[in-house]
Amino acid sequence: MSETSDPAAEATATDATVPEAPDEVPAPEPENPIVAAVAPGYQFEGSALELGGLMLDATELSDVHIRIPLGMLNRHGLVAGATGTGKTKT
């Protein structure tokens, strides 16, 4: 004698044993607040001169590029920093 199974009954039995997924997806890790403050100021469209990258302590944050639009190169600029911070190499 062959057994016939009811798909609806199997689905109900299976669903009862599987724990439900959480309603909320965990939030991604918060971005570094320094990166969040600096990066938007250097995101330009079009041609730009790249001066370097953002550094935090001795760590280079290579995903943040310090750029100046070519159209702004006819203006004065200031490179400020303490002794030994690499102003001459900028």
Q: Domain total for the chain?
A: 1
- Note whether residue 72 is domain-resident: yes
- Note whether residue 85 is domain-resident: yes
Q: Residue 49: which of 24, 32, 66 has the closest Cα?
A: 66
Lowest mean pLDDT among 2-6, 21-25, 29-33, 81-85: 21-25
Instruction: Pick 8 or 63 by higher pLDDT.
Output: 63
- Note whether residue 19 is domain-resident: no
- Note whether residue 59 is domain-resident: yes
Lowest mean pLDDT among 3-12, 16-25, 26-35, 57-66: 16-25
Per-residue model confidence as pLDDT tens digits over 26-70: 544 557 788 888 888 888 888 998 888 888 787 777 678 888 889
- Note whether residue 46 is domain-resident: yes
- Note whether residue 83 is domain-resident: yes
Per-residue model confidence as pLDDT tens digits over 43-55: 888 899 888 888 8
Range of the domain at 72: 29-90
Question: Are residues 67 and 42 in contact, defined by beta-carbon separation less than 8 angstroms?
Answer: yes
Question: For the stretch 23-58, what's the b/e string if a residue is b when 16 or more beta carbons lie within 10 angstroms of its beta carbon?
Answer: eeeeeeeeeeeeeeeebeebeeeeebeeeeebeeee
Sign, CA dihedral 59-60-61-67, equals positive
- Note whether residue 8 is domain-resident: no
